[in-house]
Amino acid sequence: MTNEIRIDALLPAEMAVRAEHIGVSKAEAPTLTTVTLAILAGIFISLGAVFATIVATETSAAWPYGVAKLLTGFVFCLGLILVVVGGAELFTGNNMIIIAWSSRKVTTRKLLRNWVIVYIGNLLGSIGIAVLVFLTKQYTSAGGAVGATALSIANGKVGLDFFQAITLGIMCNMLVCLAIWVSFSARSSIDRIATIIFPITAFVAAGFEHSVANMYFIPIGLLIKVFDPAFASATGMDLSGLTWGAFLVQNLLPVTIGNIIGGSVGVAAVYWSVFLRPGKASNPEGGV
C-alpha cells in the first residue's frame, strides 16, 4: 500500500484543524523560542515597513493616489511573507490561537502568555530596526524625501482619534488574519506567498492600522525628530504631537485593541464556530 501524496490545497474544514494544531504548538512553545521568533517577526515586519516607506516617497513625479497605495501595500507584503515562510511569531497573526483556545486545547493563561511575550518581542525587534535605520541615515535619501515621508507617516498615525484608531485596527487585523487563515490551505511556500499578497496589500492601501508595523513607523519618525531636529524642522511639519506618549497612548493602545477584536473575533472565532464548534457537522467543502 502506498501513501497518497496530495498537492491540492487544503479545504476550509481541514484548514480549521490545521489552525487548531498550530495554535496549540505556538501556545506550548518554550519561552526562549517564542521570544526569539517574536523579535524576528518585529524585524521582518519592520523591513517591510522600510520598503513601503521608500515606495511611498514622492519625488519629482507623483504616482496617482491609488497606484501609489497599491505599490506601497504590495511591497509591504515582504514583512508577512518573511514571517509566514521564514517562521516567526507575530502578535497580530497569533490572534488566530483563539481557534485552539475556543476548542479548550489552549488555556487562557497560555494564550495570554503567548500574546504578552510575542507583543514585547515584536516591539523589541521593531524598535531595534528603527534605531539601525536611523543610524544609517537612510532617511536622508532622495534629498531628504524619504525622511519627510517617514515623519509624515508617524505624525499622521499619532493624530488619529482614539475610536478611529480602534476601528482601523479592527479592519487591519481582519485582513491580516484572513491572510494567515488562507495560508493554512497552502502546501508549498509559493502557495503561502500567493495567499498573503492580496489581503496585506489591501490593508496597507486602505490605510488600516497594524500595531506591529506601527512599532516601526512611529519610532523611526520619533528618532528623526529627537536626534536630528534640524532635519525635522526643515520639513516644515508641525511635529508637536509626535511624542513617545502619543505613540503609546494615542496609537499603539487603541490599534492593539482593534487588532485583537478584528483577528480574534472577526476571523478566528467565526471560523471556529463554523467548523469546530461542538455539535457542528461541517463539510470539507466549506459549508455546514
Could you tell me which of 112, 66, 256 has the C-alpha nearest to residue 176? 256
The pLDDT assigned to 279 comes to: 73
The pLDDT assigned to 64 comes to: 84
- Angle CA(108)–CA(109)–CA(114) in degrees, nearest 5? 100
Grouped pLDDT means (10 residues each) for the chain, 288 residues: 62 94 97 98 98 86 83 96 96 98 97 98 98 98 96 98 98 98 93 95 97 98 98 97 97 98 98 89 51
* Cell matching residue 166: 480602534
Going from the N-terminus, what domains does the chain have, and what CATH number goes with each?
12-275 (1.20.1080.10)
Report the residue count for the chain: 288
pTM of the model: 0.93
Q: How far does CA 69 lie from the centroid of its chain?
A: 17
Could you tell me which of 183, 172, 179, 196 has the C-alpha nearest to residue 260? 172
* Cell matching residue 121: 518581542
The pLDDT assigned to 4 comes to: 55
Q: DSSP character for 96?
A: G
The pLDDT assigned to 10 comes to: 86
The pLDDT assigned to 288 comes to: 46
The pLDDT assigned to 264 comes to: 98
